[in-house]
Amino acid sequence: MARRSRRRSQEPPGPSGFLVVDKPSGWTSHYVVDAARGWLGTRRVGHLGTLDPLATGVLPLAIRAATKLVPFVQDKEKGYAGAIQLGTVTDTLDADGKVLSQHPGPWPDEARVREVMATFLGDVEQVPPMFSAVKKDGVPLHKLAREGREVEREPKTIHVTRFELRKYDAPRLEIEVECSGGTYVRVLAADLGERLGVGAHLADLRRTRSGPFTLDQATSPETLREEAEAGEIERRFVSPLEALGLPTLRLDPHEIQAIAQGGDIAAEGAPDSPGMRMVGHDGEGKVVAVLELQPGRRLRPLRVLEPFAGRR
Q: Kindly list the catalytic residues.
A: 52
The answer to whether residues 120 and 180 touch, using CB atoms and an 8 Å cutoff, is no
Q: Provide the Cα torsion 180, 245, 307, 264; round to 10°.
A: -90
Residue 125 CA: distances (Å) to CA of 68, 122, 153, 158, 160: 31, 10, 12, 6, 11
3-state secondary structure of 177: strand
The answer to whether residues 82 and 66 touch, using CB atoms and an 8 Å cutoff, is no
Q: b/e string for 172-187 if b means 16 or more Cβ within 10 A?
A: ebbbebbbbebbbbbb
Residue 62 CA: distances (Å) to CA of 70, 110, 118: 7, 42, 35
